[in-house]
Structure 1
């Protein structure tokens, strides 16, 4: 009996450790796929734009492709509503399983879709429908994953664990960018435009199937299982209204960061290639290196917030981002090293907020409305300003009004600073 008892005591930490790694991997791979999907679309847009739109006007085809990128974001609020409800009523795991299945399907559709030369405007419509489906899925994926990780985090480590969201997401972006760099090096532009761009979308679909299997093996969070309100007839809209101030804070914290993120982290390589004429291979490898810097910085700032609090870390990120917006854009002229320096600095100043916002969002809401409370306002903010950022930046830059876009970015970052100043410190909030 003593041996059995001692063996059980020894095995318990190992089982707990295995369970935590399963949580980290199962959540991370699905979240990485979401970001991979969005990034490969932005990175490969210059190559496949003419496959879905008329080739007679390359600039018009690129703008149309970026417009669909932005339109996909309009589905995020609906995805946040549906998958948020699913996560708050049926469980966080259920929402994550359903969202990853839909996202993987969208990636496969794009990868095998016929071209404009083959079926005309039907190709454009297929691209649009696939992106709308992915937008719906991704509107619920990120909030569900954020809530799941925050609720599963060990006491005193929520900030560090929440950095998993952007660590895994950036890994997805890095894989997509690296794949783009490899393909740009191995294939000539004509081959990339003809068929090479399909490879990353098909790969994304295959990864999605694997992520689906992994997520089906995850355990549900104790916070959800022990929350009776999640299974009662409490109106979701009533709960949402009761937490309306927190929802407005989510929007205020998200607007500026999402513009910076999609400007520097997602669209910068495509902008440098298509607008400034940078070498595609060198530009994409710069983006890979910058993302590695970002990944390394995230856990540090997550752990720092567990020690000194969320508010100081957020203020550092948003104030620094506002101060550096104009200088970093002026830095990028006609050399690849300038893009590298600007991206490295931008990554270091956005890492603090990116690392801990998933925890901050979760700490604002009670359990029975936590996923929806994050999902809907977050999706509204990203749909309003995130998805449109690459298109708006391209359009204003070509019109000679790039400073207007930069001023817009600074204003949104300063709004986030004001929101942080009015927030209570939340690092010690109990999510159970």
Structure 2
């Protein structure tokens, strides 16, 4: 199997009779990566959209702010496990292959998701309820910590250099698709069930649905081939050293897209109910529509980054969001109505898609094939844990401390400033051959 002169890991590397597949397995590669990743992020994200009901069922009653903070603390605790999951899955990806790592992350996610549907409430078993919920959330964190880096490396190593941004952005699009499904499931249930039914048993249904989809995703991933880039590197030289600044730069590129994801498209549903006067169904409906926009625009921006470069999109989006965050939160808090909130979130989705379209490709291109799965996993595991895991909790704390509903904009501004700084100092990597 000969290496292409313009890219490592592109599906053009396949030659008839050269391996287990004689034709470019593009559809199977994309399907295995996208469907599995979609399920991962559905399972991970649905917790955030059902946060109110989870808080009522698993934590002792008290002030609404305290209950919400405890529930978001459990949400954030899963992020603490993501660096560990990143190291574990990254090690599997380097020693046993990208395919095996992706299979393991799916199995661990199932172990952390399905049991949530069956945990009795705090009123039934006391402190065991939040402890069991926390255990499940930690397992979910292990899984998603490994999924991000593994799937990004997998797609980057299959992609032709001239379309790597598009290919890799599909991972982010499927991430948004999974989050969209979670939001849509929560919105649909809120529309057809009464609040009492949702609190009693309705909130459990989306977690059961995630388990039902697992066999399809496992079958898709079991029937794919290892990336040619990984196979070639395995036969090649020893791992190249990676300067610490590259890892720090990658984490910086991750800060803004992660903070925006969790504040604009997860926490915003809770914020719009609490401060914007929307009902649960209205807030989740607007959030679902915005996530659909984000999912559709991300591959477009990934393709744009192939043509115009990663840096221009990253810089432009970071600066726009830094300036817009304050007015956005203030506007939603002024109770403008569901239609206005939907329009605001849709506009945010277009800008944030620039970060999600260009960023993942830029991060994967910073690292060599030897170590890519591990290093990308670590960068995302640490970056997401630091910038995203406790973003909703930080937003609640900032509002309580300042008394201003617009205070979460400070968190967004800090994250966008870090990403803009990192993008300004990185080399342009679009269409560059993978090392």
Q: TM-score, structure 1 length as denominator?
A: 0.91
Q: Does residue 414 of structure 1 match 2:420?
A: no
Shift of 1:15: 6.7
- Counterpart Cα distance in 1 of 2:85 and 2:208: 23
Shift of 1:337: 2.2
Alignment CA distance shift 1:391-1:98 (3 Å): same
Aligned to 1:211: 217
Aligned to 2:6: none
Alignment RMSD: 2.1
Contact 2:46–2:183 (CA under 8 A) maintained in structure 1? yes
Give the structure with the larger helix fraction: 1
Aligned to 1:142: 148
The gaps in structure 1 that reach 5 residues or longer are 1-7
Q: Does residue 259 of structure 1 match 2:259?
A: yes
Contact 1:224–1:230 (CA under 8 A) maintained in structure 2? no
**Large movers: runs of 4+ above 4 Å:** 229-232, 401-404
Aligned to 2:340: 338
CA deviations over 1:12-46 (Å, ceiling 9, x no partner): 9x9736x2111111111111122212221011011
Alignment CA distance shift 1:406-1:172 (3 Å): same
Matches of residues 200-239 of structure 1 in structure 2 within 5 Å? 200-228=206-234
Aligned to 2:159: 153
The gaps in structure 2 that reach 5 residues or longer are 1-14
Aligned to 2:287: 287
Matches of residues 65-84 of structure 1 in structure 2 within 5 Å? 65-84=71-90
Aligned to 2:364: 362
Contact 1:31–1:141 (CA under 8 A) maintained in structure 2? yes
Aligned to 2:7: none
CA deviations over 1:274-304 (Å, ceiling 9, x no partner): 4444111122111121112112211221111
Shift of 1:426: 0.7
Contact 1:46–1:274 (CA under 8 A) maintained in structure 2? no
Shift of 1:62: 2.0
Tell me which moved more, 32-41 or 143-152: 32-41
Shift of 1:231: 9.3
| Equivalent residue in structure 1 for 2:120, among 114, 136, 140 | 114
- Counterpart Cα distance in 2 of 1:110 and 1:278: 28
Shift of 1:376: 1.1
CA deviations over 1:214-244 (Å, ceiling 9, x no partner): 1111111001011137896x6xxxx6x6331
Matches of residues 188-203 of structure 1 in structure 2 within 5 Å? 188-203=194-209
- Counterpart Cα distance in 2 of 1:230 and 1:318: 38
Q: Does residue 16 of structure 1 match 2:26?
A: no
Contact 1:329–1:342 (CA under 8 A) maintained in structure 2? no
Aligned to 1:306: 306
Q: Secondary structure at the match of 2:120?
A: coil
Contact 1:148–1:221 (CA under 8 A) maintained in structure 2? yes
- Counterpart Cα distance in 2 of 1:197 and 1:62: 16
CA deviations over 1:68-116 (Å, ceiling 9, x no partner): 0011100011111111111112111111100011011211011111111
- Counterpart Cα distance in 2 of 1:15 and 1:28: 22
Contact 1:159–1:306 (CA under 8 A) maintained in structure 2? yes
Aligned to 2:373: 371
- Counterpart Cα distance in 2 of 1:209 and 1:379: 26
- Counterpart Cα distance in 2 of 1:86 and 1:243: 22
| Equivalent residue in structure 2 for 1:50, among 52, 56, 79 | 56
Shift of 1:373: 1.2
Aligned to 2:92: 86
